[in-house]
Structure 1
Amino acid sequence: MATAQETKMEQMAMKRDHYSMIINGERVDSTSGETFTTYNPATGEPLATVAKATTEDAERAVEAARNAFDYGKWKKFPVGKRSRTLNKIAGIMRSRFNELVELEVLNSGKTIAAAQGQVMQAIEDFEFYAGAIVGHKGEVNPVPGQFHNYTEKEPVGVCAQIIPWNYPMMMAAWKIAPAIAAGCSVIVKPASLTPLTALVMAEICTEAGVPEGVVNVLPGSGSEIGNFLVEHKGIDKVAFTGSTPIGKDIMGKASQTLKRVTLELGGKSPNIVFNDADLDAAVDGSLFGIFYNTGQSCEARSRMYIHEDIYDEFMEKFVAKTKRLALGNPMDKGTHIGSIISRDQVESIDGYVQSAKEDGATILAGGQEAKVEGFENGHWYEPTVIADVTHDMKAVKEEIFGPVVVAMKFSDEKEVLKLANDSEYGLGSAIWTKDHGKATRVANGIKAGIVMVNCPFSAFPGTPFGGYKQSGFGRELSTETLDLYTETKSILSYYGNRPLNPLGVE
């Protein structure tokens, strides 16, 4: 016999013409009746209508999440039961893997290869936190005298989680999995351009047995709904992934109610290739570092520093391979470069490229909007390599968020470390060298939260992800993320036989 919860959230096809928001374990439409249309960026065609949340809807979601946390049973579940539920979420996602991948490709325009890797990591995130939460507990601390001190980890409360459009499902998992593992309730605000897989993930959470009100999803305006949640007194924590300017605004607004804040913001990550590197490996890894996910990654290694001794040979190989990257149908496994998320983003990317040309830089590959046969109404940009740049150029200093890389020469370790750190950002970085000592010195000297040595990959479940400087603070994807969703309570007790009279009053 079906439970009431299963009746509320019967499984529906992932691909459908309309998506409702998720509040208190139910699919509900906007109180205003408003919807917005989400598009397939590869074709420019409408994909589905989505319920557009109002502040009244957001208030309902806060009330549902608040009630679920304050009076519900989720945070009181034995940790083993929460763990099993997270594993069940992962199991349902595995069973519907191909559907999730297809929906992610359609809504984001990314290649199927990229979507497969990201959906798989989303699944593994739930599995990781299912295990990590079991070992996340307090400790006993030595105290002088006849005192006993121990600590407990308690969930922080109701969390607003604002996720970006570039990794819709993976970022939703990065936020939801550790929060609910810790016993929190969440309200997810997905990007309006890519809300579909976050909505489906919430449905899967309910299907797996997460109680009503624990996972809520509000698609809608970031400036309206996002700000409403950030300023709401019923929200205890805000986790945001997105641009640095918006992150600063969120931090300021959250400070008015002293909310806990985690910010994963912009980047302009350096990619350093020394003259003793395995050249072919460095070329291939650097290619992935910038062009994976069509360059729409916060940790994209968009500044290449190549040792002067190998610069010409490296660039010849790198540019040749860049020109062989295939743009086309994102569902084709042979496609390397997917579409750009929107027309506005295409124009933003091109603005940076044109500014570099005006500043005297040389375009070695790409440099313009791409036309893809069969996808003429989609949003595309050619993989672009820019040389002859200086550090004061806009294209070198600012985050482009597209398939564009700038390349510069360097002569020694000290010089390149200074150049690498000459940025307001400090998210990712990569080093290519066969010299272990050099790799260690440079890794220690780079002011960035992530350092990749002879490796193009930046994140796996269990590895901390986050930045220095204006790339934000807090770490996701690791066991320490659980600390961001919990409070530590210290309990001190006296076990002596003689009553305490510290003031000595008789």
Structure 2
Amino acid sequence: MYDELIQALLPREPAQFIGGQWHPGRETRDVLNPADERVIGVVAEGDEHTAELAVSHAAKAQKAWARLGLAARADHLQRLLEQVQSNAEGLARLLVTEQGKPIKEARAEVQMALTMLRYHAGLGFRQTGQVMASGTPGRTISIREEPYGVVAAIIPWNFPLAMFLRKVAPAIVAGNAIVVKPSENTPLSSLAMATLCQRAGIPAGVVSVVTGPGKSLGDALVRHPKTQLVTMTGSTRAGVQILQAAAEKVIPVSLELGGKAPFIVMADADLERAAKDAVASRMTNCGQVCIANERTYVHASVHDRFVEAVVREVQHLKLGNPQDDGTDIGPKVSAAERDSVNAHLKRALEQGAKIAFGGSQTLPAGLEKGYWVAPTVLTGVGADADVLRAEVFGPVLPIVAFEHEEQVIEWANDSEYGLSAYVYTQNLGTAMRLVDELESGEVYVNRIGPEEINGFHAGWKRSGLGGDDGEQGYRTYVRTKVTYLDYNR
């Protein structure tokens, strides 16, 4: 049944979705199910010619799309929302099959995608500019918003459906055309969304989806002379390369990159709540979340009790078939990602960390195929350990004791990343002092993510430039034009 739901959303043969049509590809790539390594699809492998065709079609379509007006563009998003709602279970099953997250998390991602569509479909009658007073009677100054033109969007594999709509919804409602390049690991969700964009009646060329390597296809999209804005979510390494390529053209770039979120538990925190949230934040999507709790700092006076509470939570997690409703943790997305996490874990143990729970020997039987990593809790981690510096992006939870507030602030800020941070305390003054001091684009106090659509998801330092969501995220996709008008006779 699930295969039928999925196949109805995908092209019949490997193809790129460009200019409202499916263009078969000569070169192809297999897509694997990370739970069992089966081939679940074959997609076209695009190149520089693919980028040229997609951007050219987008540029041709964009002017007419912008002239439709904001309200009409928002109506198209509403129709796309209805298509996603009608195909919600098929999309969720597709997410599980190509990305590996448990079905309950996949359904939550579909709801996240719907929220992004609802928000942006509601912008049809937003204020789109300002009228300013002039210093001379009979004159006005107006500032209006206009689209950039063609947007290149490069999206990651950890939330492939939500990230597709996080970029597409604001870009097209603002009047741009967009070319989306998904990750090579998870291209099927984007291809399914291309089908739904077509069914929703979004004009040909306004949304294109091209599949292929980032180093060639992605780079060609960024460097194309008609690409006028680049938005990307992914690794800091890839973000730096995109920024360098875009700099040659002097075009704006929005980057949401890596994270190394500190999770700070003060002595007066609700320990059971903090432990539950620490585990949820670290283990969701097998740890493959940019805002995940990557390093947990706990006041020394409550350290042992907190570790016990965390271990109790992790013991209850079920690792296994992500299609089962009761599964809590699925596989990593790829062999490379699995091996990276295991290497980080090995290095942590070499540097003196101890396993409080988990480790490779705790993998359940029957998981010989697939890219599995057991949820693991580490203690005895040195404050300068590598596992506290590099983005691990897996279900490994290191816990470090701290003595006082100034110390934990120093440790939390001693990172090249600054995307998210967490604070658990029952003292408002403590919470706000930490909010003031933490070098992070987001701070969650006594709660975890996901971030909300009417906020602004943005990082500091090497975690990115620009951002997504809300009013500020929408403004990424518009530029301003100022008109000076003299109506004196």
TM-score in same-fold range (> 0.5): yes
- Aligned twin of 2:70: 79
The 3 A distance-change label for structure 1 pair 38 and 372 is farther
User: Paired residue for 1:400, among 392, 398, 408?
Assistant: 392
Q: Is 1:106 equivalent to 2:97 in the alignment? A: yes
- Aligned twin of 2:56: 63
Distance 1:136 1:212 in 2: 28
User: Paired residue for 1:152, among 144, 153, 156?
Assistant: 144
Q: Is 1:266 equivalent to 2:266 in the alignment? A: no
Distance 2:144 2:404 in 1: 50
- What are structure 2's unaligned runs of at least 5 residues? 1-5
Say which SS state the counterpart of residue 451 (structure 1) adopts.
strand
Residue identity in the other structure for 2:157: W
Distance 1:230 1:367 in 2: 41
- Aligned twin of 1:175: 167
Residue 121 of structure 1 contacts residue 460 of structure 1 at CA under 8 Å; is this kept in 2? no
Q: Which structure has the greater CA radius of gyration?
A: 1
Q: Is 1:275 equivalent to 2:267 in the alignment? A: yes
- Aligned twin of 2:329: 337
Distance 1:309 1:333 in 2: 38
Residue 14 of structure 2 contacts residue 28 of structure 2 at CA under 8 Å; is this kept in 1? no
Distance 2:229 2:453 in 1: 22
Distance 1:20 1:370 in 2: 41
Q: Is 1:94 equivalent to 2:85 in the alignment? A: yes
Residue identity in the other structure for 2:78: N
Q: Is 1:285 equivalent to 2:280 in the alignment? A: no
The 3 A distance-change label for structure 1 pair 320 and 18 is farther
Q: Is 1:416 equivalent to 2:385 in the alignment? A: no
Q: CA deviation at 1:370?
A: 6.1
User: Paired residue for 2:442, among 426, 435, 450?
Assistant: 450
The 3 A distance-change label for structure 1 pair 371 and 111 is same
Q: CA deviation at 1:320?
A: 2.4
Q: CA deviation at 1:124?
A: 1.3
- Aligned twin of 1:3: none
- Aligned twin of 1:8: none
Deviations 1:75-101 (A, max 9, x none): 111211111110110111001110010
Distance 1:55 1:288 in 2: 41
Q: Is 1:24 equivalent to 2:16 in the alignment? A: no
Residue identity in the other structure for 1:24: G
Distance 1:287 1:294 in 2: 11
Where in structure 2 are the equivalents of 1:29-428 lying within 5 Å? 29-30=24-25, 33-70=26-63, 73-146=64-137, 147-368=139-360, 371-428=363-420
Give structure 1 regions of 4+ aligned residues with deviation exceeding 6 angstroms: none
Residue identity in the other structure for 1:318: V
Distance 1:143 1:129 in 2: 33
Say which SS state the counterpart of residue 236 (structure 1) adopts.
strand
Distance 2:356 2:382 in 1: 16
Distance 2:289 2:164 in 1: 15
Residue 330 of structure 1 contacts residue 338 of structure 1 at CA under 8 Å; is this kept in 2? yes
Q: CA deviation at 1:290?
A: 0.6
Residue identity in the other structure for 1:392: D
- Aligned twin of 1:504: none
- Aligned twin of 2:3: none
Say which SS state the counterpart of residue 89 (structure 2) adopts.
helix
Q: CA deviation at 1:323?
A: 2.5
Deviations 1:244-300 (A, max 9, x none): 111111101100001110000001000011111111111111111111111011111
TM-score of the superposed pair, with normalisation by structure 2: 0.96
Distance 1:426 1:185 in 2: 31
The 3 A distance-change label for structure 1 pair 222 and 404 is same
Residue 156 of structure 1 contacts residue 236 of structure 1 at CA under 8 Å; is this kept in 2? yes
Residue identity in the other structure for 1:239: T
Say which SS state the counterpart of residue 132 (structure 1) adopts.
coil
What is the count of residue pairs matched by the alignment?
483
Distance 1:188 1:216 in 2: 6
Distance 1:367 1:140 in 2: 62
Residue identity in the other structure for 2:347: S
Distance 1:357 1:464 in 2: 37
Superposed CA RMSD in Å reads: 1.5
Say which SS state the counterpart of residue 162 (structure 2) adopts.
helix
Distance 2:372 2:462 in 1: 29
Deviations 1:439-468 (A, max 9, x none): 112112111111111111231221211100
Q: CA deviation at 1:68?
A: 0.8
Say which SS state the counterpart of residue 172 (structure 2) adopts.
helix
